[in-house]
Amino acid sequence: MSGTTITVVPGRNMAAEMVEQPDRVRAAFGGVQARTEALAPLLGSARQVILLGRGSSRSASTYAAEAFRSIAGLPAAVVSPAHLAWSTSGALHGALVVAVSQSGESTEILAASRAALERGADLVVVTNSENSALGGLVDDARRLLFHAGREVAVPATKSFTTSLACLLGLAAAGQPELLREAATAVPDLMAAVLEDETTRIDVSAASDFVCAGEGYAEAVGEEGAIKLRETLSRPVASFETSEFLHGSVNSVTAGTAVLLTASDDVGVHLCEEAAREAARRGARTVTINAAPSTGADQHVRLPATPSHWAPFLAVLPLQRAAHDAAIARGLDPDTPAGLSKVTRIETAGDS
């Protein structure tokens, strides 16, 4: 009797999970809409918002900080979980701390969240795991679930975009119509981008990479860099586009792929300028935004949307670029060497 041969298809899980995103994001919006009545008073009483996240959850937190500032009108910042967990001073009365973690088991995020509660903060947990240790720190009304389902590939795709939906819902908890419009339109727009083959980007020949974005798109630049780092096991830099223009553009060469995203007119202008400067130095330039054209080597034109919707769309070509570049190099983007879905960092009190 012959044995069964199992064929492993590199990148199969990541590819499938990318395609799931529109439906998963729709579910995430539905989940947060059901909690807006309970969440709105938290925003009303907050004086500031502190966001905690690592990896793709940190990229999502960058997006959320912009949403809290622009939509909710609250000061908001992404803070190092290590600093919050291990420092010993500073009351947080009046602060809303939002802890974002796909697994809900990151020791660093757990320690920071516990410290925030001890210092008087309100805590909201955004996670893909309802029964996680992090989820157990709060009651059901303060626990927002990604509704991403099980994510097998190590690089986060659907868990990233579903976390954006949760965080947008939290920032817009006091504005149900704004949230309703996003919940209705964004999943269909994502599906259209995924179905459009002109949004594919080939960066397989590049030796170095830079990702950049401004405003809401800064989070997309961060996340695109993470995806390329994870799937290719290469260093990849990410910048605010304006910061990239402030000297760092001079570091690119003919082997560099520069991937520039934008969510509004200011970002588009900066994309155009950054693409020109990078091209002058020989780099391959790619822009991703809703403008008709930008003068880049490749322009991925997205549907025109409100700026807070743009990251849901702009990240999709970058996810696929990371997947496709890994396959072209003979790598399996599902299981990058040395990486895990859960990161555990010892706290100061651990031995």
Is the pLDDT score of 344 beyond 70? no
**What would the two tokens of residue 315 be?**
């990240």
149 plus 203 within the same structural domain: no
Write down which residue in 186, 220, 251 finishes a domain.
186
Q: How far apart are CA 223 and CA 227, in angstroms?
A: 6
Q: How far apart are CA 336 and CA 312, in angstroms?
A: 24
Give the model confidence (pLDDT) of 166-221 as tens digits: 999 999 999 999 999 999 999 999 999 999 999 999 999 999 999 999 999 999 99
CATH number of the domain enclosing 218: 3.40.50.10490
240 plus 203 within the same structural domain: yes
64 plus 166 within the same structural domain: yes
Q: Number of folded domains in the chain?
A: 2
305 plus 208 within the same structural domain: yes
212 plus 168 within the same structural domain: no
Q: How far apart are CA 118 and CA 98, in angstroms?
A: 15
Q: Does some domain include residue 341? A: no
Comparing CA positions, the residue from 83, 78, 119 lying closest to residue 99 is 78
Confidence of residue 3 (pLDDT cuts 50, 70, 90): low
Residue 7: what pLDDT? 65
160 plus 228 within the same structural domain: no
Residue whose structure tokens are 């969240």: 113
**Count of other CB atoms within 10 angstroms of residue 226:** 22
- Range 310-328 average pLDDT: 98
**Count of other CB atoms within 10 angstroms of residue 230:** 22
**What would the two tokens of residue 26 be?**
């729709």
Write down which residue in 186, 208, 233 finishes a domain.
186
Residue 349: what pLDDT? 44
Is the pLDDT score of 1 beyond 90? no
Q: Does some domain include residue 7? A: no
Weakest mean pLDDT among 4-18, 62-76, 129-143: 4-18
171 plus 119 within the same structural domain: yes
Q: Does some domain include residue 344? A: no
* pTM of structure: 0.94
Give the model confidence (pLDDT) of 120-158 as tens digits: 999 999 999 989 999 999 999 999 999 999 999 999 999
218 plus 271 within the same structural domain: yes
Confidence of residue 6 (pLDDT cuts 50, 70, 90): low
95 plus 22 within the same structural domain: yes
Q: Does some domain include residue 335? A: no
144 plus 71 within the same structural domain: yes
Give the model confidence (pLDDT) of 272-302 as tens digits: 999 999 999 999 999 999 999 889 999 999 9
161 plus 216 within the same structural domain: no
Write down which residue in 165, 186, 207 finishes a domain.
186
Confidence of residue 9 (pLDDT cuts 50, 70, 90): confident
Give the model confidence (pLDDT) of 243-270 as tens digits: 999 999 999 999 999 999 999 999 999 9
Q: Which domain holds residue 50?
A: 12-186
